[in-house]
Amino acid sequence: MSVFTVSITIGVNTSPLAGTEGEKLTAQMIRGRLQQEEEINPAAIKVLDSDSTDKFDVCCSSLDQLAAMVEEMRLEGFELTVSDPQCIFRRDKNDEQKLLEPYEEVVVEAPTEFSGTVVEELMNRFGLMIETSELGDDSSRIVFHVPTRMLFGFDEVFTNITRGFGVLSRSFLKYDLVVDGILNPPDVGFLISNDTGNAVGYALARFQDMGVFYIKLQDKVYAGMIIGENNRNEDVEISVVKGKALTNIRASGSVEAYNLAPPKIMTIGGMIGYLTQDECIEVTPRNLRMRKKILDSTTRKSSEVGQKTGVCFKILEG
């Protein structure tokens, strides 16, 4: 029997582009689809009403399962908004005042040259090393016990650390005492659009040295949409919809070639690992877009939600 350890909130698409790429848009349609998933596999998914009629809390045993379900829904024509993940805590049956959190057993097989970095990363996530052994001359096997909430975003970090040569497996272990610590937000700043329109080559080339873009030439963007990663660990607002001013020599129909780097392609699972309380994902059949929950820059900066914090948790009663 599956244990529900993580949850995300799924709701209607609230972006400025809502309704332009999908066919299934309403809260009733989304609720019906989630209920269908729950009926098919009640041991793997649990759907709860949230504090809003157009959002639903979806509990599962892993973020991978939730990401797979969201991917299926977008292929079926749904448009969604997906929130940052939350870890599900429980109350101790012997002491109602004491909270317990889920732990996972993490088994890593990786080239020995990367094993030290992997161990350091897991220890920074409050992991306890259980076992380590050599697999041949150039590979190591490492076993850790780690709180689930400390593993959010770890899969992509692990792939980067091992350059794709590592093998990672995770499984639920137990509920135990809450670790006195938080998982620091992803060490990344975002490039955020402060304008609405289509991305132009001149603007993309102008800001290319600032980081890595998630978008390409002519992609639709809107104010508050996350369009890339900043080289510095801070969010920066830029405009990628404004081209170079025209002159008498440079006609409006002229074409310029820009040496643009290819965009970074993000999966749903990868995006979920990046989310803090400040961000969410716009999911449509055609596109995945990360965005700020509060799109307006002035409102966002004055809001408490605009402060990046560690992973949230919720308490599942019963």
112 phi/psi in degrees, rounded to 5 = -55, -35
Our measurement of the distance from residue 35's CA atom to the centroid of its chain's CA atoms, rounded to an integer in Å, reads: 23
Partnered with residue 254 across adjacent β-strands are: none
Q: What is the pLDDT of residue 263?
A: 93
pLDDT tens profile 128-155: 999 999 888 889 999 999 999 999 888 8
Per-position b or e across 178-216, b if 16+ CB within 10 A of its CB: ebeeebebbebbbbbbbebbebbbebbbbbeebbebbbe
- Residue 258 has a pLDDT of 76
pLDDT at 179: 86
* pLDDT tens string 193-224: 999 999 999 999 999 999 999 999 999 999 99
* Residue 252 pLDDT greater than 70, yes or no: no
Percent of the chain with pLDDT over 70: 88
**Domains in the chain, start-ordered, CATH in brackets?**
95-177 (3.30.70.240)
What's the mean pLDDT when you consider all of the chain?
Answer: 87
Strand 86-92 with 312-315, pairing: parallel
DSSP state letter for 309: -
**DSSP-assigned letters across all residues of 151-195:** GTTHHHHHHHHTTT--EEEEEEEEEEEPPS--PPPPS-EEEEE-S
Rounded Cα distance, 11 and 81, in Å: 5
Is the four-CA dihedral 219, 225, 230, 236 of positive or negative sign?
A: positive
For residue 1, the model assigns a pLDDT of 56
Other C-beta atoms closer than 10 Å to the C-beta of 231 total 14
Q: Which two tokens stand for residue 227?
A: 């369009």
Instruction: State the residue for tokens 């449509």.
Output: 284
Residue 244 scores a pLDDT above 90: no
The DSSP bridge partners found for residue 131 are 143
Rg of the chain, C-alpha, whole Å: 22
Q: Which residue has the higher pLDDT, 137 or 112?
A: 112
Can you give the pLDDT at residue 51? Answer: 82
